[in-house]
């Protein structure tokens, strides 16, 4: 079982927040799977990104360091 699987399991057990709420994490937990799992529960994610991440602003593939 991976760290991502563990965090997803925890997120799925959380109650839906009554107001806008946030999941604050370090760069190890900023992944599409985790962000989507928390979003389904009503949470926004705040976390640092590793510089080797790929982003798709306006549908165009960019390395994070190109946007810095």
Q: pLDDT, tens digit, for every residue of 1-36? A: 999 999 999 999 999 999 999 999 999 899 999 999
pLDDT at 46: 96
- Residue 40 CA to residue 61 CA, distance in Å, equals 25
Domains in the chain, number: 1
- Residue 12 CA to residue 40 CA, distance in Å, equals 9
pTM: 0.79
Q: Which domain holds residue 58?
A: 3-67
| Banded pLDDT at 38 (limits 50, 70, 90) | very high
| Banded pLDDT at 66 (limits 50, 70, 90) | confident
């Amino acid at each position: 079982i991976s760290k991502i699987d563990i965090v997803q399991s925890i997120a799925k057990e959380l109650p839906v927040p009554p107001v806008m709420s946030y999941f604050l994490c370090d760069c190890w937990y900023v992944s599409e799977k985790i962000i989507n799992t928390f979003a389904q529960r009503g949470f926004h994610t705040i976390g640092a990104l590793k510089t080797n991440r790929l982003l798709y602003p306006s549908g165009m593939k960019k390395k994070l360091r190109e946007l810095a």
